[in-house]
Structure 1
Amino acid sequence: MSSSIHTPQLIDQFGRRVDYVRLSITDRCDFRCVYCMGEDMTFLSRDEVLSLEECARLVRVFVNLGVSKVRITGGEPLVRKNALSLFEDIGRLPGLQELTMTTNGSQLEHHAQALRKAGLDRINVSVDSLNPERFRQITRVGDLNKVLRGIEAAKQAGFTNIKLNTVLMHGFNDDEAVPLVAFAIDRGLDIAFIEEMPLGEVDHQRSATYISNQATLKQLQARFPLVSSTETTGGPARYWRVAHTNTRIGFISPHSHNFCESCNRVRVTCKGELYLCLGQENKVDLMPLLREFPHDDTPVKEAIFSAMHIKPKGHDFDLRRAAPAVVRFMSHTGG
């Protein structure tokens, strides 16, 4: 593939270097989490979605432009047919320092070993409750035991960087912060608490279910010896270490602590839309360029470079708004 652009870095209009891409490979999911999507979803048809070959091509383009970390997301990425082939294509890509995945864990039991062999470095697993009945209520259809078996399979496959992702909500799981951290400590896992984000119309009022990470941290400090840390995994989380354990607790706080000043990432949807910010509508459509120029990456690279000039300063989430910050669901943009 030809190229007329030679530069190791993507720099946005505010001087921030973009070296992290989150790529969704499907909008489909086998769960229907209440904070993520509606109960009755209409998903994209096959021809509206990037092929796995196009996904791999985009990853290669971004890595050639200086991106060192790629996270594969969905929907649920492992429900995509032949998803493993993508990991095999990009897992050992020169210049890619870290390949990670966010998953609901439902398919991990069967794929963990192959994913590790393909070159996946880290896994984030969404777990919002340790109560099977409550877990099903939040996910609408999920089987907690299946997810827990998936986490164990990932450990057995040799993954040493496994992190739980948890969204706490008043009236759903607001009493589970301490049990979830204890669970993580017992199994040598990390855990991140993520404030609920106003993306898409859901069946509850987010201002009523919102729990700040400041409140969660205060609760955890009363139960665990926490030590502030300057560690980072390349994303927006602020970390604390649990003393005398291998567990880190991260807090991703788009409301109570705006982390936009150091934003180093962009997102690509399964439709090939390059979103410059999770909470804004600024985007560039890459799919037409991929298909019009199947053997020339130059137009795609030029579009990505141009997009850096429209990357906004921040997402400006505000729970006081009656409507969501953006209409699209999290599953559309990529989790």
Structure 2
Amino acid sequence: MQHNPLSTSASNNKALTDSFGRSFGYLRLSVTDQCNFRCLYCLPDGSSCVAKTDLSLQEIKQLVTTFAELGTSKVRITGGEPSLRKDLTSIISTVKAIPGIQTVALSTNGYRLQKDVRHWREAGLDQLTVSVDSLDEATFALVTGQDKLPQIMAGLELADSLGFDSIKLNTVLLKQHNAAALADFQALVRQKNWTLRFIELMQTQTGSAFFRQQHLSAQALEQQLQQQGWTVLTKTATAGPAREYQHPDYQGRLGFITPYQQDFCDSCNRLRVSSTGLLFLCLFAEQHQNLRPWLNQPTELLKGWLQQQVQQKKASHFLHQQNPGATRNFAMIGG
């Protein structure tokens, strides 16, 4: 690696803040880009088998420790499908033990929930997010390529008994598959203290045709909720981009993630690192920077490098110009 002199002032413990005044206390860390589902909007042909080396447990520890020293308090472990890592439980416990990390979250397709969620909770997992694109078994199988909805829902029931800080379900809005399913999802959160978020489909390099066929604005659904007396909740400092709603007759909440909304990026508070150590300043950036070589350098150099990189973050993504950047699919970084 070429020598890159960094000033002492650039290497202090100042929180990561970009040139637009946004602070980044939330790290989304992918631990693999492999997935065992074949979701129509992500990997309809399944995962590729390109040989590569994912970040090791020791590299993850060093990486998250550095981010924590720069003010990161929340880490979300993502994939691909993170439960394909045989050491996922060790990753959770290692990240949770790092000073400064207050919250460890996991995003999963739920395939191994029944087998492993108790171990994850015991290892220190605080928050759980599971992808559930339909509550109809046939539609779920069509969208994901896996006929596993009953097992996933049973895993969620088990998770519900384990005292997680929050359980969330993510549903990608698809015009032909779940556009009319609002009532089904409302019935679920009437009885369960879970949060279900509808995510507008986002364009990727390999999914342009599918995007044109299936993209559905969440605006009409959100207006329906407002007319039914749902009220929006105030976000916490490390919350993601969702607008979440509550209703006195429902135990759970419903939310919306709408990346095509004009001010979507104004409150950005998260950075992403891929399973091979690429820093994603934005999910839809044109280029990504390799931080892995810096893991062999003194921590202060990595801190300074991260602070310099964050200054290059743009004000917004360019999805409005039909430009998904270098993101081929969401398995490469976990959305």
The aligned residue for residue 312 of structure 1 is 314
Q: 1:38 deviation in Å? A: 3.5
- Asked if residue 230 in structure 1 is aligned to residue 239 in structure 2, the reply is no
Residues 22 and 266 of structure 1 are in contact (CA less than 8 Å); yes or no, is this contact kept in structure 2?
Answer: yes
Tell me, what secondary structure is at the counterpart of 1:162?
strand
The number of residues matched between the two structures is 325
- Relative distance call for 1:62 and 1:43 in structure 2 (3 A) is farther
- Relative distance call for 1:126 and 1:259 in structure 2 (3 A) is same
1:176 and 1:89 mapped to 2: Cα distance? Answer: 39
Could you report, residue by residue, the CA deviation over 1:89-138 in whole angstroms, capped at 9, with x for unpaired residues? 12132211211111111111111111111111111111010111110100
Tell me, what secondary structure is at the counterpart of 1:145?
helix
The aligned residue for residue 329 of structure 2 is 329
2:99 and 2:169 mapped to 1: Cα distance? Answer: 28
The aligned residue for residue 22 of structure 1 is 28
1:24 and 1:162 mapped to 2: Cα distance? Answer: 19
Tell me, what secondary structure is at the counterpart of 1:110?
helix
Over the aligned positions, Cα root-mean-square deviation in angstroms equals: 1.9
- Relative distance call for 1:325 and 1:273 in structure 2 (3 A) is closer
Residues 1-335 of structure 1 mapped to structure 2, 5 A cutoff: 5-47=11-53, 49-202=54-207, 204-221=209-226, 224-232=228-236, 234-290=239-295, 292-293=296-297, 296-318=298-320, 321=322, 324-335=324-335
- Relative distance call for 1:334 and 1:215 in structure 2 (3 A) is same
- Relative distance call for 1:305 and 1:203 in structure 2 (3 A) is closer
Identity rate, percent: 37
Residues 79 and 334 of structure 2 are in contact (CA less than 8 Å); yes or no, is this contact kept in structure 1?
Answer: yes
1:200 and 1:114 mapped to 2: Cα distance? Answer: 36
Q: 1:40 deviation in Å? A: 4.1
Q: 1:289 deviation in Å? A: 2.1
- Relative distance call for 1:160 and 1:99 in structure 2 (3 A) is closer
1:160 and 1:61 mapped to 2: Cα distance? Answer: 25
| Letter paired with 2:309 | A
Residues 282 and 310 of structure 1 are in contact (CA less than 8 Å); yes or no, is this contact kept in structure 2?
Answer: no
- Relative distance call for 1:51 and 1:142 in structure 2 (3 A) is farther
Tell me, what secondary structure is at the counterpart of 1:87?
helix
Moved more, 178-187 or 12-21: 178-187
Q: 1:208 deviation in Å? A: 2.7
Unaligned stretches of 5+ residues in structure 1:
none
Q: 1:331 deviation in Å? A: 0.7
Q: 1:37 deviation in Å? A: 2.1
- Relative distance call for 1:327 and 1:160 in structure 2 (3 A) is closer
- Relative distance call for 1:45 and 1:299 in structure 2 (3 A) is farther
- Relative distance call for 1:13 and 1:330 in structure 2 (3 A) is same
Q: 1:190 deviation in Å? A: 0.9
Residues 27 and 75 of structure 2 are in contact (CA less than 8 Å); yes or no, is this contact kept in structure 1?
Answer: yes
Normalised by the length of structure 1, the TM-score is: 0.91
Normalised by the length of structure 2, the TM-score is: 0.91
Q: 1:307 deviation in Å? A: 0.7
Tell me, what secondary structure is at the counterpart of 2:173?
coil
Q: 1:6 deviation in Å? A: 2.8
Residues 177 and 216 of structure 1 are in contact (CA less than 8 Å); yes or no, is this contact kept in structure 2?
Answer: yes
2:50 and 2:158 mapped to 1: Cα distance? Answer: 31
Moved more, 246-255 or 211-220: 211-220
Q: 1:255 deviation in Å? A: 1.0
- Relative distance call for 1:203 and 1:307 in structure 2 (3 A) is closer
